[in-house]
Amino acid sequence: GESVGLHLPTLSVQEGDNSIINCAYSNSASDYFIWYKQESGKGPQFIIDIRSNMDKRQGQRVTVLLNKTVKHLSLQIAATQPGDSAVYFCAETDNYGQNFVFGPGTRLSVLP
């Protein structure tokens, strides 16, 4: 798996608003997609995943949407809270866990 190191784009939202973080993936053969949350000084943590046979999957306050036509993935966080402030990475892989690729990450900043 590879990723490209870039200065992170930042999304600022008001506490209580909904957040939408977007990710464009590269490999049309990717079958499995994951969103990770990374808080400062910690390792990335699994949030939610989705397989390519689905368009939408919901978790607790989070929803992942997959648009295979345009190779786009999004993470929606409902009623954003201060504890949601972190860097969010999308990742794609094939069904065998090969070719695991991370997106560049988006920093979510929750404003009081």
Partner 1 sequence: DSGVTQTPKHLITATGQRVTLRCSPRSGDLSVYWYQQSLDQGLQFLIQYYNGEERAKGNILERFSAQQFPDLHSELNLSSLELGDSALYFCASSEPGRGYTFGSGTRLTVV
Question: Which chain residues interact with partner 1 by CB under 8 A?
Answer: 1-8, 32, 34, 36, 41-46, 49, 89, 91, 93, 95-97, 100, 102-105
Least Å from the CB of residue 106 to partner 1: 10
Q: Residue 14: which H helix or E strand, with range? A: strand 10-14
What's the rounded Cα separation, in Å, for the pair 91 and 103? 6
Closest CA to 77 of 106, 54, 99, 51: 106
Least Å from the CB of residue 86 to partner 1: 13
Q: Is residue 3 within 8 Å of residue 102, measured between CB atoms?
A: yes
Nearer to partner 1, 12 or 18 (CB): 12
Nearer to partner 1, 25 or 36 (CB): 36
Least Å from the CB of residue 5 to partner 1: 4
